[in-house]
Amino acid sequence: MKIKIGFAMGIIALMVAACSSHEQHGSGHPVADLTKLNHPGAKVYQSACMSCHALAAKEEGSVAPPLFGVKDHVIKAYPERAAFIQRVVTWVKAPNPNDVLMPGAVKKFGLMPAQAQLSDADLQAVAEFIYDTDFNKPDWYAAHYQAEHGKKPH
Ligand code: HEC
Protein backbone atom coordinates (compact mmCIF):
# COMPACT_ATOMS: atom_id res chain seq x y z
CA MET A 1 0.00 0.00 0.00
CA LYS A 2 2.76 2.37 0.99
CA ILE A 3 4.59 1.73 -2.26
CA LYS A 4 1.42 2.32 -4.27
CA ILE A 5 0.80 5.64 -2.59
CA GLY A 6 4.42 6.62 -3.02
CA PHE A 7 4.16 5.82 -6.68
CA ALA A 8 0.96 7.79 -7.09
CA MET A 9 2.57 10.79 -5.39
CA GLY A 10 5.58 10.48 -7.65
CA ILE A 11 3.36 10.51 -10.69
CA ILE A 12 1.42 13.49 -9.41
CA ALA A 13 4.73 15.31 -8.91
CA LEU A 14 5.74 14.37 -12.45
CA MET A 15 2.46 15.59 -13.87
CA VAL A 16 2.67 18.85 -11.96
CA ALA A 17 6.20 19.35 -13.20
CA ALA A 18 5.10 18.55 -16.76
CA CYS A 19 2.15 20.91 -16.62
CA SER A 20 3.98 23.79 -15.01
CA SER A 21 6.44 23.79 -17.89
CA HIS A 22 3.62 24.19 -20.42
CA GLU A 23 2.64 27.73 -21.23
CA GLN A 24 -0.93 26.59 -21.44
CA HIS A 25 -2.66 23.29 -21.28
CA GLY A 26 -6.08 22.05 -22.13
CA SER A 27 -8.60 21.76 -19.34
CA GLY A 28 -8.83 18.42 -17.68
CA HIS A 29 -6.07 16.45 -19.33
CA PRO A 30 -4.07 15.83 -16.14
CA VAL A 31 -7.05 13.95 -14.73
CA ALA A 32 -7.17 11.62 -17.72
CA ASP A 33 -3.40 11.16 -17.56
CA LEU A 34 -3.46 10.30 -13.89
CA THR A 35 -6.18 7.74 -14.38
CA LYS A 36 -4.01 6.00 -16.94
CA LEU A 37 -0.78 6.18 -14.99
CA ASN A 38 -2.40 5.01 -11.78
CA HIS A 39 -2.93 1.66 -13.42
CA PRO A 40 -0.91 -0.82 -11.33
CA GLY A 41 0.61 -2.11 -14.56
CA ALA A 42 2.15 1.30 -15.28
CA LYS A 43 4.48 0.77 -12.34
CA VAL A 44 5.49 -2.66 -13.59
CA TYR A 45 6.12 -1.23 -17.05
CA GLN A 46 8.28 1.53 -15.64
CA SER A 47 10.36 -0.76 -13.48
CA ALA A 48 10.60 -3.88 -15.66
CA CYS A 49 10.05 -2.94 -19.31
CA MET A 50 10.76 0.73 -19.93
CA SER A 51 14.56 0.42 -19.77
CA CYS A 52 14.33 -1.58 -23.00
CA HIS A 53 10.92 -0.63 -24.43
CA ALA A 54 10.73 3.16 -24.48
CA LEU A 55 7.31 4.60 -25.17
CA ALA A 56 8.50 5.96 -28.50
CA ALA A 57 11.44 5.22 -30.72
CA LYS A 58 14.80 6.53 -29.60
CA GLU A 59 17.13 7.29 -32.45
CA GLU A 60 20.27 5.98 -30.84
CA GLY A 61 21.17 3.27 -28.41
CA SER A 62 17.82 1.51 -28.45
CA VAL A 63 17.90 -2.12 -27.40
CA ALA A 64 14.32 -3.08 -28.22
CA PRO A 65 11.35 -1.86 -30.26
CA PRO A 66 9.33 0.94 -28.63
CA LEU A 67 6.25 -0.06 -26.68
CA PHE A 68 3.66 1.18 -29.14
CA GLY A 69 5.40 -0.79 -31.91
CA VAL A 70 5.27 -3.91 -29.77
CA LYS A 71 1.61 -3.34 -28.97
CA ASP A 72 0.80 -2.77 -32.61
CA HIS A 73 2.29 -6.12 -33.62
CA VAL A 74 0.75 -8.11 -30.80
CA ILE A 75 -2.70 -6.57 -31.17
CA LYS A 76 -2.78 -7.41 -34.89
CA ALA A 77 -2.19 -11.07 -34.07
CA TYR A 78 -4.29 -11.06 -30.87
CA PRO A 79 -7.03 -8.43 -31.17
CA GLU A 80 -9.14 -9.82 -28.31
CA ARG A 81 -8.26 -8.41 -24.89
CA ALA A 82 -8.01 -11.77 -23.11
CA ALA A 83 -5.91 -13.34 -25.87
CA PHE A 84 -3.64 -10.30 -26.01
CA ILE A 85 -3.07 -10.41 -22.26
CA GLN A 86 -2.43 -14.14 -22.37
CA ARG A 87 0.10 -13.69 -25.15
CA VAL A 88 2.02 -10.97 -23.31
CA VAL A 89 2.02 -12.86 -19.98
CA THR A 90 3.25 -16.07 -21.62
CA TRP A 91 5.83 -14.22 -23.68
CA VAL A 92 7.36 -12.18 -20.87
CA LYS A 93 7.72 -15.28 -18.68
CA ALA A 94 9.45 -17.24 -21.41
CA PRO A 95 10.00 -15.71 -24.85
CA ASN A 96 9.68 -18.49 -27.41
CA PRO A 97 12.12 -18.23 -30.33
CA ASN A 98 9.82 -20.46 -32.39
CA ASP A 99 6.81 -18.19 -31.97
CA VAL A 100 7.87 -14.60 -32.52
CA LEU A 101 5.63 -11.81 -33.77
CA MET A 102 8.49 -9.41 -34.50
CA PRO A 103 11.10 -11.41 -36.43
CA GLY A 104 12.76 -8.21 -37.67
CA ALA A 105 13.25 -7.05 -34.07
CA VAL A 106 14.66 -10.43 -33.03
CA LYS A 107 17.18 -10.15 -35.85
CA LYS A 108 18.10 -6.60 -34.92
CA PHE A 109 18.11 -6.83 -31.12
CA GLY A 110 18.20 -10.53 -30.31
CA LEU A 111 15.47 -12.44 -28.48
CA MET A 112 13.98 -10.70 -25.46
CA PRO A 113 15.31 -12.08 -22.15
CA ALA A 114 12.64 -13.63 -19.89
CA GLN A 115 11.55 -11.38 -17.03
CA ALA A 116 11.26 -14.22 -14.55
CA GLN A 117 11.37 -11.93 -11.51
CA LEU A 118 7.79 -10.76 -12.11
CA SER A 119 4.88 -12.28 -10.22
CA ASP A 120 1.79 -13.49 -12.07
CA ALA A 121 -0.09 -10.47 -10.72
CA ASP A 122 2.58 -8.12 -12.09
CA LEU A 123 2.52 -9.84 -15.47
CA GLN A 124 -1.25 -9.64 -15.63
CA ALA A 125 -1.20 -5.96 -14.62
CA VAL A 126 1.43 -4.92 -17.14
CA ALA A 127 -0.32 -6.81 -19.95
CA GLU A 128 -3.61 -5.09 -19.06
CA PHE A 129 -1.86 -1.72 -18.91
CA ILE A 130 -0.42 -2.18 -22.40
CA TYR A 131 -3.75 -3.29 -23.83
CA ASP A 132 -5.85 -0.64 -22.09
CA THR A 133 -3.63 2.39 -22.66
CA ASP A 134 -3.87 4.30 -25.89
CA PHE A 135 -0.23 5.20 -26.44
CA ASN A 136 -1.16 7.19 -29.49
CA LYS A 137 -3.07 9.72 -27.41
CA PRO A 138 -0.79 12.74 -27.74
CA ASP A 139 -1.94 14.28 -24.43
CA TRP A 140 -0.82 11.38 -22.36
CA TYR A 141 2.37 10.75 -24.24
CA ALA A 142 3.43 14.37 -24.63
CA ALA A 143 3.07 15.10 -20.92
CA HIS A 144 4.94 11.97 -19.98
CA TYR A 145 7.71 12.57 -22.47
CA GLN A 146 8.11 16.15 -21.40
CA ALA A 147 8.32 15.17 -17.76
CA GLU A 148 11.06 12.75 -18.61
CA HIS A 149 13.08 14.64 -21.20
CA GLY A 150 12.28 18.25 -20.41
CA LYS A 151 11.13 18.87 -23.96
CA LYS A 152 8.22 18.05 -26.19
CA PRO A 153 8.31 14.95 -28.39
CA HIS A 154 9.05 15.69 -32.02
C1 HEC B 1 16.41 -6.43 -21.72
C2 HEC B 1 15.52 -5.77 -22.63
C3 HEC B 1 14.02 -6.05 -22.53
C4 HEC B 1 13.21 -5.96 -21.42
C5 HEC B 1 13.59 -5.60 -19.99
C6 HEC B 1 11.86 -6.23 -21.88
N7 HEC B 1 11.87 -6.52 -23.22
FE8 HEC B 1 10.24 -7.01 -24.37
N9 HEC B 1 11.43 -7.26 -25.99
C10 HEC B 1 12.80 -6.99 -26.03
C11 HEC B 1 13.28 -7.18 -27.37
C12 HEC B 1 14.72 -7.00 -27.84
C13 HEC B 1 12.17 -7.56 -28.16
C14 HEC B 1 12.13 -7.82 -29.67
C15 HEC B 1 12.69 -9.17 -30.01
C16 HEC B 1 11.78 -10.26 -29.59
O17 HEC B 1 10.59 -10.25 -29.98
O18 HEC B 1 12.24 -11.14 -28.83
C19 HEC B 1 11.02 -7.62 -27.26
C20 HEC B 1 9.73 -7.99 -27.63
C21 HEC B 1 8.60 -7.93 -26.81
C22 HEC B 1 7.27 -8.31 -27.19
C23 HEC B 1 6.80 -8.87 -28.55
C24 HEC B 1 7.01 -10.36 -28.55
C25 HEC B 1 6.07 -11.20 -29.38
O26 HEC B 1 6.52 -11.77 -30.38
O27 HEC B 1 4.90 -11.34 -28.97
C28 HEC B 1 6.47 -8.06 -26.11
C29 HEC B 1 4.97 -8.27 -26.01
C30 HEC B 1 7.31 -7.55 -25.06
N31 HEC B 1 8.60 -7.48 -25.52
C32 HEC B 1 6.85 -7.15 -23.83
C33 HEC B 1 7.67 -6.80 -22.76
C34 HEC B 1 7.18 -6.46 -21.45
C35 HEC B 1 5.71 -6.39 -21.06
C36 HEC B 1 8.26 -6.19 -20.68
C37 HEC B 1 8.29 -5.83 -19.20
C38 HEC B 1 7.61 -6.76 -18.31
C39 HEC B 1 9.44 -6.36 -21.50
N40 HEC B 1 9.03 -6.71 -22.76
C41 HEC B 1 10.76 -6.20 -21.05
C42 HEC B 1 13.59 -6.61 -24.96
C43 HEC B 1 13.16 -6.41 -23.66
Per DSSP, the residues of 4-29 read: HHHHHHHHHHHHHHHHHTSS---TTH
Residue 49 CA to ligand 1 centre (angstroms):
7
Q: What is the pLDDT of residue 38?
A: 72
Confidence (pTM) = 0.74
Name the residue with the closest Cα to ligand 1, atom 10: 112
Helix H or strand E encompassing 75: helix 67-77
Q: What is the pLDDT of residues 117-129, one digit of tens each?
A: 999 999 999 999 9
Q: What is the pLDDT of residue 61?
A: 77
Q: What is the pLDDT of residue 146?
A: 62
Q: What is the pLDDT of residue 15?
A: 46
Residue 139 CA to ligand 1 centre (angstroms):
25
Q: Answer yes or no: do 118 and 85 share one domain.
A: yes
Q: Which residues of 60-94 are buried (b: 16+ CB within 10 A; e: fewer)?
A: eeeebbbbbbbbebbbeebeeeeebbebbbebbee
Pocket residues: Cβ below 6 A from ligand 1: 48-49, 51-53, 63-65, 70, 74, 87-88, 91-92, 95, 100-102, 105-106, 109, 111-113, 115, 118, 126
Q: Answer yes or no: do 6 and 28 share one domain.
A: yes
Q: Answer yes or no: do 120 and 143 share one domain.
A: no
Of the pLDDT bands very low, low, confident and very high (cuts 50, 70, 90), residue 32 is very low
> How many structural domains compose the chain?
2
Distance of alpha carbon 57 from alpha carbon 65, whole angstroms: 7
Note down the domain range covering 119: 54-132
Name the residue with the closest Cα to ligand 1, atom 12: 64
Of the pLDDT bands very low, low, confident and very high (cuts 50, 70, 90), residue 48 is very high
Report, as an integer, the average pLDDT of 45-72. Answer: 86
Please give the residue that has the higher pLDDT: either 35 or 95.
Answer: 95
